[in-house]
Amino acid sequence: MRTSVTSAGDIARDIPRAPPPMAMLAELTHRCPLACPYCSNPIELTRANEELSTEEWIGVFRQAADLGVLHLHLSGGEPASRRDLVELTRAAVSLGLYTNLITSGVGLTGARIGSLADAGLDHLQLSLQGVSPESADRIGGYQGGYERKMAVAAWVAGAGIPLTLNAVCHRENMGEIDAMIELAIRLKARRVEIATVQFHGWAERNKAALMPTREQVERATRTVAEAREKYQGVLVIDYVPADYHSRYPKACMGGWGRVGLNVTPSGRVLPCHAAETIPSLSFENVRETSLAAIWYDSDAFNAYRGEDWMPELCRSCERKKVDFGGCRCQAMALAGDASATDPVCIRSPLRERLTREADALSTTQSAGLIYRGR
């Protein structure tokens, strides 16, 4: 089914009817004890007194399940900062949602992990800032964080909850990738996700300090390929390569408004976590509008669905069904136009400039990390 949509001053666009979303990321809170310099949360954080209440979140989970969502990612900030985390998890499980907790581990105890397991938590993703107390605590800006993560991993294994380690890589820790993979094995993780830093939100301020060099990126790609072979059948290794050093953009969010949605701590519903950086869009709130109406009918979700919005370069390109034109927020940040071809694409007229910038940034002497302010 297709709908024709016009907004003021626009010509009618043919927008394909979206299938129901598969995944929802619930940003339960922006509160977080860590201060990572690559934090992708917005510069303006939601205050605790603006957060959805326990009942409101459970109502959102119910709407999500009714809408067809299968996977619920409980995230933040640090979701363990919410006192009702176990209650929220239990409610989501009872609605038939697959629950995945994305956490730094700080704020979790053995007892709380036992309660989460009893509530039916399906999976836990633990962030990793480095492979030693020195590097992890320095990058995360939190003393004692590494020790707590190691304890959390052991409690999670003891409780029988499947574990994934999430490591964000950048210039300061890119040489630790093989050690991160070894650590994942030692901690009995089933999966490790090695994602190169993305420069959204606060991370933008640390571009010069965090941009990896071309050599680091090439070495990281080789390390991952070798480790995948070595640990086949033992550990799944997901790898998100560096955007600025890739030939093509990734299919950000699996395509805008195609697979998933994000709900902010105060209930705004976004097609991706950085969507609010696109000034032409406004976002509706589950406190006022149903999740289904927002998913199917809101201007923000329909803005980049289908192909009619694409520039000719993407519309006539065979990869448009692979990457859906790339990342809209990156196009906004780098081209100043959210409907431009993602400048990471080798076919974009901006690509050459981007490569020069990335090379220059990656060889800039770091002025030190600017930690996430709270």
- The count of residues in the chain is 374
Residue pair 170/135 in contact (Cβ under 8 Å)? The answer is: no
Closer residue to ligand SF4 in complex, CB, 107/249: 249
Q: Which residue from 3, 31, 6 is spatially nearest to 17, judged by alpha carbons?
A: 3
> How far lies 249's CA from each of 194, 233, 252, 319, 348, in Å?
17, 29, 8, 10, 10
CA distance 329 to 168: 19
Q: Which residue from 3, 81, 57, 66 is spatially nearest to 301, judged by alpha carbons?
A: 3
Stretch of 30-38, 176-184, 201-209, 250-258 contacting ligand FES, by CB under 6 A: 250-258
Q: 73, 170, 305, 328: which one contacts ligand FES (CB under 6 A)? A: 328
Closer residue to ligand FES in complex, CB, 37/326: 326
What is the residue whose two structure tokens read 């509530």? 119
DSSP structural state of residue 64: H
Stretch of 6-14, 113-121, 266-274, 315-323 contacting ligand SF4, by CB under 6 A: 315-323
Q: 272, 310, 314, 369: which one contacts ligand FES (CB under 6 A)? A: 272
Judged by beta carbon distances under 5 to 8 A according to partner kind, the member of ligand FES, ligand SF4, none in contact with residue 39 is: none
By the rule CB under 6 A, 255 interacts with ligand SF4: no
Which two structure tokens, joined as six digits, stand for 198? Answer: 């993305």
CA distance 30 to 114: 24
Name the amino acid, one letter, at 278.
I
By the rule CB under 6 A, 340 interacts with ligand SF4: no
What is the residue whose two structure tokens read 């201060």? 35
Q: 210, 325, 350, 362: which one contacts ligand SF4 (CB under 6 A)? A: 325
Tell me if 39 is assigned to a ligand binding site.
yes
Judged by beta carbon distances under 5 to 8 A according to partner kind, the member of ligand SF4, ligand FES, none in contact with residue 130 is: none
Binding site residue list for [4Fe-4S] cluster: 32, 36, 39
Q: Residues marked as binding?
A: 32, 36, 39
Q: Which residues bind ligand SF4 (CB under 6 A)?
A: 248-249, 313-314, 317, 319-320, 323, 325-326, 341-342, 345, 347
Using CB under 6 A, list all residues that contact ligand FES: 200, 252-253, 256, 272, 274-275, 327-329
